[in-house]
Amino acid sequence: MQKLSKNSRRQFLRQATVGASTLLGGSSLPAFALSPAYITSDKLRPQMPCGVMSGDITGNKAIIWSRTDRPARMLLEYASNETFKDARSISGPLALPGSDYTARIDLSGLPAGQRTFYRVRFQDLQNPSANSEPVQGSLLIPGGTERDIIFAFSGDEAGQGWGINEAFGGYRIYESMRRFQPDFFIHSGDQIYADGTIQAQVKLDDGSLWNNLVTPAKSKVAETLEDYRGNFAYNFLDANKRRFAAEVPFLVQWDDHEVRNNWYPGQQIGAAEKRYHERDLNALAQNSRRAMFEYNPYRIDENDPGRIYRMFNYGPMLEVFMLDERSYRGANSPNRQSRLDKDAAFLGKAQLQWIKQALLRSRSTWKVIASDMPISLVVPDLNPDVPQGTFEAWANGDNGKPLGRELEIAELLKFIKQHNIKNVVWVTADVHYASATYYSPGKASFTDFKPFWEFVGGPLNAGTFGPNEVDQTFGPDVRYVSVPKDLKQNRSPADLLQFFGIAKIDAKTKVMTVSLHDIDGKNLYKVDINPEV
C-alpha cells in the first residue's frame, strides 16, 4: 500500500471499482454533521490527505475540491468571514472509489472582489456519525473596477527526478508565490512527470545528496489509471502546495509530461523506449486525462466532459483564455507544411475558431492567453523513437515565413489585428526557465499582426534547462532570460533556478505590470504594459 506520508496511517491510493460520483449540491446538511456529538476517534474518522483546493473561478462561481480515504460524503460550509458567522452549508457529492475518493462542489452566487471562506468535511458512509476533521480554505473571485487583479503563472512540477525534498523546504516556490497573495494561479502544464521516476537520493555536482520523498507510484513510469492517480497525488504530499491550494484558486492546463514526453494523439511508443508495456499513447492519455480531472478543480462541461480549453471572465479588466495544445495536434514532424491541415494542426480547427470568437466577444481591457508552449522558442523532439529534425512546439527554427504549426499562430495573430482586438498578452511555461519577449512586426518575417508580449515561467520544482534557440518568424525581441547561455542542463532546484511570474492590473490606470521571480520571490525582471485604448 502506498502511504500518504511518513506519519500517515491511511491508504493513499485504492483500486477504482465503481463509477465516478455525481454532484449533488444544494441540500442542507444533516443536523449531526455539524454537531459536537459526532465521533472523534481518528481511527474511525475519514482522512483528507490532499487538503482542499479551489479553481475554475469565473463570474460568481468556483469549484471546491478535496479528497478523502474511504467512501464518504463531502460536506461544505462557506461564509464571508473567518468566524463562519451566518455560514451556509451544502451536503455535497459522494467520494467513491471510481473517482479515487475525490469530490467537488460547484459554488455559485459568490461575490466578486470579496473573499469567501470555506471548510470541508467528509462524512463516513458506514459510520454516519464519523466526520473528518474540517480543513479550511478561502478564495477571492476577481471582478469589479475598484480592486487590482493579481495572478501568478508557472509550470513544470516534480520533473527530471527532482521531487519533494523536505530538508530543502519542499516545493518552497509555492510559499514564495503565496506571499504575493494572488487572486488565482495559472498552472501552464507539466503538473506531473508521468514518464519520470523519483529515486530516494540523487547525487549533486558538489557531492551532496538531494533526498526525495518517494512513493511506489513514482518508482516507475505511469501506465495504468492508478499510476497516474499516484503521480497527481504525490504533489499533495508537499505542505507548501497544500497551503497555497487552500488560499489560491488554480486554473490548470496540461502539456506533455502529464502523459509522456512530447506525446501526440495516435502515437505509438517505439521499440527504443524499453520502460513501457502499454505502447499506445491514446490509451495512456485516456488514463492521464481521467486522473487529471479527478485531481483538479475542473468545471466539467456536460456537453464535452473531456474538454480542457476554456475561458474565465473577471469583469471589465480581465479575461483568461486557457488553450489545449495536446489533444488536437498532428504528429510531431519537421514542421514545414505549406498549408494548414490536420498534419500541421496544433490547436485544431474547432479550438482555433473558439479562441478567435472568444477574443472577438471579449469586452475586458486585458485578454490573457495561457499557452502551454511558447510561440518562438524552438523545442526539438529528442525522444529516441522519433526521427531527428522533428519539432515539438509551434516553431520550426527556420526563421522564415510561417510553415507547419506556425500557420495556426499566424492565422490567429492576423485575426487579432484585422479585428483590432486590443491588449492581448501570452503566458506560458514548458522550457524550464523564465523569459520576457516582445513581438513586433518590424522585426518579423510575418508582419500582419499587432505587437504583443509573451512571458515564460517555470519550473516550479524540476530540472532547469535552456536557453532555447529563438525562431525569428514573428519578430521576437527577447528582453529577459533567467539563465545564462552556457547553463549546464538539468540543474537541480538546489541551484535556486526555479521561476514564476506575477501579473498585476491596476484598477485605476488599467496598467498591467508583469514581473518574473526566482524560487524565493526575488524580483528578476519587471515591465509595465500600458493598455491600448
**Could you identify the residue written with the cell 483500486?**
15
d(CA 82, CA 90): 17
Q: Is the dihedral of CA 197, 203, 206, 211 positive or negative?
A: positive
Phi, psi of 488 (to 5 degrees): -75, 130
d(CA 154, CA 176): 12
Nearest residue to 368 via CA among 181, 529, 499: 529
d(CA 456, CA 453): 10
Helix (H) or strand (E) holding 428: strand 424-428
- How does DSSP assign 215-228, residue by residue? -GGGSS---SHHHH
d(CA 512, CA 367): 11
Give the up-direction half-sphere exposure of residue 136: CA atoms within 13 A in the CB hemisphere. 8
Give the up-direction half-sphere exposure of residue 485: CA atoms within 13 A in the CB hemisphere. 2
State the pTM of this model: 0.92
What pLDDT was estimated at residue 144? 75
Residue 293: DSSP 8-state: H
Residues of the chain with pLDDT under 70: 1-41
What pLDDT was estimated at residue 394? 97
- Helix and strand numbers (H, E) in the chain are 6, 22
Q: Are the CB atoms for 258 and 288 separated by under 8 Å?
A: yes
3-class DSSP string for 143-176 = CCCCCCEEEEEECCECCCCCCCCCCCCCCHHHHH
Residue 412: CB atoms within 10 Å? 18
pLDDT tens track for 487-505 = 999 999 999 999 999 999 9
Torsion-angle region of residue 119: left (phi > 0), alpha (psi -120 to 50) or beta? beta
Residue ranges and CATH numbers for the domains of the chain are: 31-140 (2.60.40.380), 149-529 (3.60.21.70)
Count the residues in the chain.
Answer: 533
3-class DSSP string for 491-519 = ECHHHCCCCEEEEEECCCCCCEEEEEECC
Residue 356: DSSP 8-state: H
Phi, psi of 218 (to 5 degrees): -95, 10
d(CA 298, CA 336): 35
Q: Is the dihedral of CA 443, 446, 450, 454 positive or negative?
A: negative
Strands 424-428 and 452-456: parallel
Residue 364: DSSP 8-state: S
What pLDDT was estimated at residue 42? 75
d(CA 329, CA 335): 12
Residue 121, strand partner residues: 75
Q: Are the CB atoms for 154 and 182 separated by under 8 Å?
A: no
